[in-house]
Structure 1
C-alpha cells in the first residue's frame, strides 16, 4: 500500500514539473452554449418506458388489492383513489370493481425544466372494458425519485382536448399561482368548488357546463326528494390537499389537474321515521346502515381543466374529465331528531 502512495506521489510531481517547464497554455474547456430553454425531462422512448412501468405496478396492485404494492409507482391523489376503490371492492364482495386504467398513450406532453417537480401528461388509448380514454398525470418530485402516477381522469364524451406541445420540444410547467392564465390554477380549483356549493356563485359564468357537476347536483336533488319523508340529503365540496398540477398547452393556456372532496350527507329530521343508507355508502357502513342522526359519504375527486391564456378571446374554463371515488363514510348519531 505504501509503495503505491510513493508511486502516485512521484507521478504527481513529474506532472507538475512538466507543466512548469512548458510555456504552452493549458487548454481551457469550450462548452457548448447553454440552451435558452431546458430540454424535455424525458424523451419519447423513456416516457414510454415509464408509462409501461407504471402500468405494471397498477396491475400488480390491482391483483393483490394492496396499496403498498401500488405505491411503488402511484402517489398522491391517485393512490388515495385506487386505495378507496380497493376498499369498496372488499366491502361489496367484488361487486364494485376498480376503474379500468391504461397508460398506453395516444398523445404525450413532457415538462421542459431543470427544476423539480417534473410533470408529464398523456392522453391514453381507451382502457379495456371502458369506452372513453384517460388523461393521466405523472410527477417526479425529486431527482432521485421515479416518476409516479399522480392522478387520472376519464375524459368526458365528445370533449375537445387542447393541443399539447410535442414531447421533443417539451412543455412549460405552470405554477399554481401563475398569472399567465385567465385564472391561476389554484383559483380554478377554488372557483370550481364554489360553483358546486352554490350554483349561483359569481364564478359560475367562468365555467362551461360539464357532466360531472350536472350529475353530482342532479343526483343529490333526486336523493333529497327520495328521503324527504324521513330527512334530507345535502351536498358540499372543498378543495383537496394536493395540487394542482399543471402543464402548458400549445396556445399558451394550460391543462390543470386539481383535487377536491365532495361530501354527501343524509340527515334524519323526522323523529320516529326510518332512514337507511344504500349503495356504496351503505356498503362502507357495514351491517348497520340505519341513519339515526347523520351519515356522510366523502369522495375524493380529480378534475382536469383547460384554462385559456390571459389574453384569449374566449376566457371560458372547460372541465375535460373527472374521476370520483367514495373513500370514507362517517356517522353522527348524536344529531338524531328529538323524539316527541
Structure 2
C-alpha cells in the first residue's frame, strides 16, 4: 500500500508540473495582437480614430509603410479633424466584435493638402522614407493622422500592434503543487522501503534440546465461558494496521492545503488595472482644452527662435514672415531694409533666439484663432559686455488649423510677469472692451501714448506706474523737449501718435487682472520753416527715405510693442498699470509730400 501511495503521488506530481509548464509554453497564447488596414490611392490622408487605437488595452505600436515619403503624427482628435477639414481621407475604425481595423473612404472637396510635417498642431510627428514605426500610449481623445507629402496618395499599409496579457495565473500554483506531491511521493517511497527492511530481518535456528519427561496426565477441565469478552489473542499486532492510517490522513490534509483557493501565486495573479484617463482627469474638466501643451510650446518657441535668428543673419523678411506677423514682423522688416542700405545700423531688439522656455500661458480654447504668451529665459551674456540680457516675451497667434504659430509681439521684459495659471490649465482671452479691469484694454494704448507725449500733464499719468517705466525716460516728454531744443530755428519738429496695426491681446491673470499687449505708433515730422531752408536726414531715416536732404522735410514713424499688466477694477486707484516690457523702432520714413 505504501508503494501504491508513492506511485500515485509521483504520477499526480508529473501531471501537475507538466500542465503548469505547458501553460507557459505550448498552451500559452500570442503575446501581441495586430490590426491592419490596406488603403487605396483615392485620398492623401488617413485618420485612425482614438477609439480604434484603444480597442485593445496597452501601448500602441504603429507601423506605416508605403512608397516614397511616409508621415504620421498624433494630436487631439478635434485638432486632427480640423486640420483634415474637407480633404478626402480614409477613416480607420475598429470592429467592436473582432477588434480588426475597418477603413472607409470619406469623400472631400480637396484632393491634395499642404505637407502636414512640422505642423504646430501635432503633439508629435514622424517622417521617413519608406516606413515609419513608433509606439505611443494615447487616450481616446487623441487620433493619428497618416499621409505622404499631402499630394501623393496615402501610404497603403497601416497596422497597430498591442501587447496581449497571456500570463497564466495557475501555472505557478500547479508547479508548486506538483513539487509538493513529488516530495510527498518521495516520503511514501522512503517509508515503504524502511518498513520492508524491518519486516525481512534475520531469523536464528533454535538448537535441539533433550526431551523432557512427560508430565502425568491430568484430568482436563472445561473452562467456563467469560461472557463473550474479547480476547487479545493477537497481542500488540492487532494495533499495527492503524499506524498506516496516520500518514494517509496527513497526506490528505497536505493535499487539501494545496488547493487552488489557498495556495499563493508565483509571479502571476490577476492583472492590476491602471487608472483610466477619466479617473485621473484633473478637477475642472469642464474647462476648454489649452491651445497647446507645454511640450508643444517648447517646440514652437524653439522653431520661432531658430527661424528669426536665420532671418536676422540674412536680413530676410521673407524668412521672418514664416514665424513673425503683425508689429513684430513690421519692425524687423523695416530694420532689415535699413540695414541692407547702411550696414552700420544696429539690429532690432529684442534678440529672439532659441532660448529655454520660462513661462507658457496658453489660451483655453478649441477654436481658432488661438493665442499663447511665452517668456524665454535671457540669452547667455557676453563676458565682455556689462549688460545682462533680459527675458523676452512673445505673443504667439495661430490663425487656423493649418497655419503655424507666429509671434505678433516680441518685447524685452523689464519687470516680472505677475502670477498666471499653469500651462496645463491655461487662461481665457478677454475682449478688448472688458469692464472688469481698471481700464478697458482698448484704451490702454491711447492713454499711454498721451503719457509719452505730455508727461505729467496727461490726464492718464496717474493710471500708470511711471517710477518703474524705463521707456518713459527714453522717449517721454523730457526726451521730446530736449530733441525740439536741438532743432535749428529754420525748422520745426512735431510729435503725434496713433494706434498701430497690431491687434490688442488680453489674457487673464490669477489676480483677476490681465496681460495686455498693444501696438501704437508715434509720428515724428520735421519741416523747414523758412523759404529755401532744408533739413538733413540721418541714420535709419536716411536709409529708408533714400534722401539725405529735403526742402520739404521728413516724416518718420516709430512703432511700439507694449506689454502691460492691468489690475482688476477692484484695485482701481490703488494699483497702477505696469509696463512689463516693450520693443520700439523705426518702421517707415519718407519725404513730406
- Give the TM-score band, short-chain normalised: 0.7 to 0.9
1:94 CA drift (Å): 4.3
Which whole-Å CA distance do the structure 2 matches of 1:49 and 1:289 have between them?
A: 45
Which whole-Å CA distance do the structure 2 matches of 1:48 and 1:68 have between them?
A: 23
- Partner of residue 250, structure 1: 510
Tell me if structure 2 keeps the 8 A contact 1:244–1:257. Answer: yes
Structure 1 residue 304 corresponds to structure 2 residue 547: no
- The residue matched to 1:119 in structure 2 has which SS? strand
Which whole-Å CA distance do the structure 2 matches of 1:92 and 1:134 have between them?
A: 27
- Partner of residue 28, structure 1: none
Unmatched segments (≥5 aa) in structure 1: 1-14, 16-30, 334-340
User: 1:50-89, aligned counterparts within 5 Å?
Assistant: 50-89=300-339
TM-score by length of 1: 0.81
1:273 CA drift (Å): 4.4
1:150 CA drift (Å): 1.2
Which whole-Å CA distance do the structure 2 matches of 1:201 and 1:66 have between them?
A: 40
- Partner of residue 424, structure 2: 168
Query: Aligned Cα RMSD in Å?
Result: 2.3
Which whole-Å CA distance do the structure 1 matches of 2:483 and 2:447 have between them?
A: 25
Which whole-Å CA distance do the structure 2 matches of 1:90 and 1:219 have between them?
A: 29
CA offset digits 1:125-179 (Å, max 9, x no partner): 11356622111111112233221111111122xx232112110121111221222
1:225 CA drift (Å): 0.9
Which whole-Å CA distance do the structure 1 matches of 2:340 and 2:509 have between them?
A: 40
Tell me if structure 1 keeps the 8 A contact 2:558–2:588. Answer: yes
- Partner of residue 336, structure 1: none
1:92 CA drift (Å): 1.5
- Partner of residue 294, structure 1: 553
- The residue matched to 1:311 in structure 2 has which SS? helix
- Partner of residue 42, structure 2: none
Structure 1 residue 114 corresponds to structure 2 residue 366: yes
- Partner of residue 92, structure 1: 342
- Partner of residue 51, structure 2: none
Structure 1 residue 226 corresponds to structure 2 residue 450: no
Which whole-Å CA distance do the structure 1 matches of 2:437 and 2:499 have between them?
A: 20
1:301 CA drift (Å): 1.4
Q: Count residues in correspondence.
A: 301
CA offset digits 1:84-124 (Å, max 9, x no partner): 12112112124322332235322221111223221111222
Tell me if structure 1 keeps the 8 A contact 2:563–2:581. Answer: yes
- Partner of residue 203, structure 1: 460
Which whole-Å CA distance do the structure 1 matches of 2:487 and 2:380 have between them?
A: 37
- Partner of residue 124, structure 1: 376
- The residue matched to 1:149 in structure 2 has which SS? strand
- The residue matched to 2:482 in structure 1 has which SS? helix
- The residue matched to 1:161 in structure 2 has which SS? coil
CA offset digits 1:225-264 (Å, max 9, x no partner): 1113321222111111221012111111111111111111
Unmatched segments (≥5 aa) in structure 2: 1-96, 98-276, 382-387
Q: Which of structures 1 and 2 has the bigger CA Rg?
A: 2
1:206 CA drift (Å): 0.9
- The residue matched to 2:549 in structure 1 has which SS? coil
Correspondent of 1:146 among 401, 404, 414: 404
Which whole-Å CA distance do the structure 1 matches of 2:393 and 2:540 have between them?
A: 25
- Partner of residue 474, structure 2: 215
Larger RCO: 1 or 2 (CA < 8 Å, sep 6+): 1
TM-score by length of 2: 0.48
- Partner of residue 24, structure 1: none
1:56 CA drift (Å): 2.0
CA offset digits 1:20-74 (Å, max 9, x no partner): xxxxxxxxxxx97993211222111111011111112212322332211222221
Which whole-Å CA distance do the structure 2 matches of 1:244 and 1:41 have between them?
A: 18
Cα 1:232/1:330, change in 2 over 3 Å: same
Tell me if structure 2 keeps the 8 A contact 1:260–1:301. Answer: yes
Tell me if structure 2 keeps the 8 A contact 1:266–1:291. Answer: no
CA offset digits 1:288-321 (Å, max 9, x no partner): 3224122111112111100001112624111111
